[in-house]
Amino acid sequence: MTELHQPAHPVRFVTASSLFDGHDASINIMRRILQSQGAEVVHLGHNRSVDEVVRAAISEDVNGVAISAYQGGHVEYFSYLVELLAERGAGHIRVYGGGGGVIVRDEIDLLHSRGVARIFSPEDGQQLGLPGMINMMIRECDEDLAAQEQGSIDTLHAGDIPTLARVISRLEQDELADDWREAIRATAASRTVPVLGITGTGGSGKSSLTDELVRRFRLDQEDKLRVAVIAVDPSRRRGGGALLGDRIRMNCLGHWPGFGEGEPIYFRSMATRTKSGEVPAALPGAIEACKAAGFDLVIVETPGIGQGDAGIVDHVDRSLYVMTPEFGAASQLEKIDMLDFADAVAINKFERRGAEDARRDVSRQLVRNREAFGASPEDMPVYGTSAARFNDDGVTALYQFLRDMLADAGLSVSTGMLPAVDTKVSTSASTIIPTSKARYLAEIAEMVRGYHERTQRQVEAVRKADQLTAARDALADDGAATGDIERLLERAQSDIDEQSMRLLDEWPERAESYRSEELVVRIRDKELHTQLWRDTLSGSRIARVALPRYTDRGELLSFLRRENLPGYFPYTAGVFPFKREGEDPARMFAGEGDPFRTNRRFKYLSADSEAKRLSTAFDSVTLYGHDPGTRPDVYGKIGTSGVSIATLEDMEVLYDGFDLCSPTTSVSMTINGPAPTILAFFLNTAIDQQFAKFRDEHGREPSETEAAELREWALRNVRGTVQADILKEDQGQNTCIFSTEFSLRMMSDIQEWFIQHGVRNFYSVSISGYHIAEAGANPISQLAFTLANGFTYVESYLARGMDIDDFAPNLSFFFSNGMDAEYTVIGRVARRIWAVAMRERYGANERSQKLKYHVQTSGRSLHAQEMSFNDIRTTLQALCALYDNANSLHTNAYDEAITTPTESSVRRAMAIQMVINKEWGLSKNENPLQGSFIVDELTDLVEEAVLAEFERISERGGVLGAMETGYQRGKIQDESMLYERLKHTGELPIIGVNTFLPPAGDEDEVTEVELARATEDEKQSQLKRLTEFQQRNSADAQQALVRLREAATSGENVFDVLMDAARVCSLEQITEAFFEVGGQYRRNV
């Protein structure tokens, strides 16, 4: 490999995923390699608008911007990015990007012609390798920005952000001219601008707390203060790179509607650029520059510090020390230097166990440190905060103390808009999972292992009893005495429990019933006849369910307790005795353009099927809870990679012609962040269909009583699934839009509402591993994280007061099927763990024990190179899912590596399932995996690996505690990196990608593929329909939004009110209302 270029100057990058794009696995890999090669990286994370990227790039004075774009709209996004940089005087910033096979060669050439420095393609990755690609960026951006002029002293004094940013860069490199230094110092000295230092231990939540404090300054002072925030992160001693990871946590930046024009907050990330110390040499100058630029308040946030560090004190007027309750013994407080200097202390993450004791101990320590022995510990400025909780009153109390303290130091503030709080700690620090249940995952692991241990003991007891019975009978036949054996036999039989005996006693009759021609089951007044045998063309008779041939009752009991037949506990082979005839598990997937176009696609796909199993993909604008708009980075994504849905009227068009309450219709909706609103649109559509039927049949409107009856009937009969899995979104897919706490509350509200209204045929959540796998997780992590998320929902719903058997049937699961061996048993393991835990831990009934899941073939295994080979992979994955009795299946189209599937590619994808179900001979049997040695071994191996992962998550405080530390996300990224490395080196052979390559000159088949894109007419139609809807419902919408906010703040069931609001409000109107009362999601690195 060619020697890598070592930068001669500090090289700074902004990295992010494009707007409405949660695919951040690749950009995380890129920013890590950038750091390792010496770059300072300001990482913004996923879903970033062009305006956000440009503001960050200018404020941070970077050399380059690197954007990943996997969700379509990339031509408009990158073009607009280049234009806006140039418009704001930052045309020197180089723009890089990539999107796998999504950005095709013609589009790459177009973007290069428009000024993008480089769009990397999969072929670039093969030729250059990831380090080579990154080093090209480093080399091209290795120039001394500090040597380039930017503004003047006058523009700095006028508050010009580009000038301020360049001044700080020059200070960092010690290249600022003396006359500039003197002018800045003189101006800064002439102004009274207090400086607040925020420091504390690593992981204490300093960035989140800083964000919440600045947000309160903006709200309380109505944006009349200009605040500069300087966030310091450490440089790596090896290589000099740095992850500048504080800006990603800031939701308080940017323009707020209704608060005037301009941007009152300046945020600058600084690397220490030293081997040790928390304060960079340029910090004093940077503070003076911010003062000279006219800011009213400067906040400095340091990296995590140790017990003996207090370097920030010399550079600030007031200081806040942030810590968590877990500091160890109270004597450790005596070693913390900052407790001698801090003007206030925040015990953040106050919802954790021991927080009250921690606050008491810290308060006492401050009394001793200040020698204020006449004061009460309660008088000390020690606050209990939960910065992760939206509108936390502990944070507000801390803010009001700091505001008044800074006013004493010269900050000009008003009385403020925020009401005074009469507390010093968080008073709403309730936990989603009760403290007493914190070990739920470890306890489930113990319970499942215990179940298998009991099985083994029972197997040995049965075998011993059978052996003694045989010996007794042999002795009796020979006329010998059997007294001693009788006593041993009686003792052995007493070790066999009632449940095991019942299983063994029932088996002969059950086995015999499966050997007959048909199985007859009587339900109420009906007899259901199921044919049990199927004939081949050769005349062989294939059993629908093949029976084990065990003669040893111990082996039989082991089978019955560990496997059993499909439809019997623990449901390892399937939750239903037989597959449904007349309704294949295939889902009809569509979503592109406007609702009219997608409706036509649904009708095309389902034309030959009695059962309408519709699966809906939404465009990324909808996925992030926004309405279509004219801004280029939004406009380019309207109707791309999914259907655009902004109103109830859109939803009605989407499913026009499909009876949503028919027993043969089922709808799946892949939506998460704004799922409550989309679900409200959908359920209202189902209800409105019944009203329309009534009007057609009776020629009049239904009465109030009739309308109520129609509404309840529709809710009882509508079938389908909404994904709505917010835990998975945080861990993998990133379409979180609201705070996690608010999102989980909404999920509980929906489930509670479902129970109250008898919604039994619709899944309120599809607990999804698919997107965890797409983010890079291996099959074991996918399964473990998904089941762990499922059990977290169970515990949170139980804590809400719901009964297990009222909500468990409304839970479904969604897995990916890839090429790894473990995918063969992913469903078997999931069903067994779920069933055992539901019965043994939760005492759930039979229906609740049955885990039902959907499978989608792997999107990650679709490659832009040799795309026709993708169908081969998809066929194998589909066969694997059908053998494992998945309850429904979606097969990806071969061209989804670069586009939303076309009609012809979707038809091929559907044909894969049809060929397996209709033509593949072994599909006549419905339990083909049972009895296989390797399948049995894999099942046990994967199950134990999942249980071990449960224990690791439990050690980190359960799923929510692990999410807080980024455990799941980090593990997914590590596994993704391993896959990419092995793919690149060829150690993981991928046919047509890194081996068995086509002859030279035949590589580029991508240009021949039809690209599915929304048309201009469709985009304009959506904008026009949205405007008309909002104008028509303007007055009603405002009233509904007020009512919605009231419900959210007063603790009512929000979904109940949302069902009404969804009739007159657009998606984005509801999203913005929820932002106000529930908070925005805060991204993590």
Instruction: Please give the structure tokens belonging to residue 711.
Output: 């509404």
Q: Give the burial class of 816: count Cβ atoms within 10 A of its Cβ; 0-12 exposed, 13-18 middle, 19 or more buried.
A: buried
394 has a pLDDT exceeding 60: yes
Whether residue 655 has pLDDT greater than 50: yes
The one-letter amino acid code at 712 reads: E
Q: Which residue has the tokens 């031509």?
A: 75
Question: Band of the pLDDT at 331, cuts 50, 70, 90?
Answer: confident
Band of pLDDT at residue 256, cut at 50, 70 and 90: confident
Rounded Cα–Cα distance for residues 797 and 803 (Å): 8
> What is the model's pLDDT at position 944?
99
Q: Is the pLDDT confidence value at 257 over 80?
A: no
**Pair 586, 916: CB distance under 8 Å:** no
Pairing of strands 195-200, 762-763: unpaired
What is the model's pLDDT at position 305? 79
pLDDT single digits (tens) 890-902: 999 999 888 778 8
Class of domain 12-141 (CATH, top level): alpha beta
CA distance 580 to 585: 9
- pLDDT tens profile 1023-1068: 999 999 999 999 999 999 999 999 999 989 999 999 999 999 999 9
Q: What is the pLDDT of residue 524?
A: 63
Tell me the longest C-alpha to C-alpha distance in the chain. Answer: 118
| Best CA proximity match to 1038, nearest among 1026, 1030, 1027, 1050 | 1030
- Averaged over 26-36, what is the pLDDT? 93
DSSP state of 586: B
Per-residue confidence (pLDDT) for residue 1007, from 0 to 100: 45
- Note the pTM of the prediction, 2 decimals: 0.92
At 792 the pLDDT is 98
Average pLDDT for 494-500: 96
Looking at residue 150, what is its pLDDT?
A: 79
Report yes or no: 942 and 826 within 8 Å, Cβ to Cβ: yes
pLDDT of 927-948, one tens digit each? 999 999 999 999 999 999 999 9
**One-letter amino acid identity for 560?**
L
3.40.50.2030, 3.40.50.720, 3.40.190.10, 3.40.50.300: CATH of 153-170+193-411: 3.40.50.300
3-state secondary structure of 243: strand
Cα 1082 to Cα 463: distance, rounded to the nearest angstrom:
58
Q: What is the pLDDT of residues 965-1015, one digit of tens each?
A: 899 999 998 999 899 889 989 999 999 999 999 887 665 544 456 667 889
Other Cβ atoms closer than 10 A to 842: 18
Each domain of the chain, given as residue ranges in start order, spans 12-141, 153-170+193-411
The overall average pLDDT reported for the chain is 93
pLDDT in tens, 535-582: 999 999 999 999 999 999 999 999 999 999 999 999 999 999 999 886
Query: Nearest to residue 440, comparing CAs of 964, 957, 965, 968?
Result: 957
Question: Judging by beta carbons within 10 Å of its beta carbon (0-12, 13-18, 19+), is residue 247 exposed, middle or buried?
Answer: buried
12-141 and 153-170+193-411 share one CATH topology? yes
Extract the tokens encoding 843.
Answer: 């005492």
- Residue range 95-112: mean pLDDT, rounded: 94
Peptide bond into 570 cis (omega under 30): yes
pLDDT per residue over 199-230, tens digit each? Answer: 998 889 999 999 999 999 999 999 999 999 99
pLDDT tens digits along 905-925? 988 999 999 999 999 999 999
Residue 258 has a pLDDT of 60
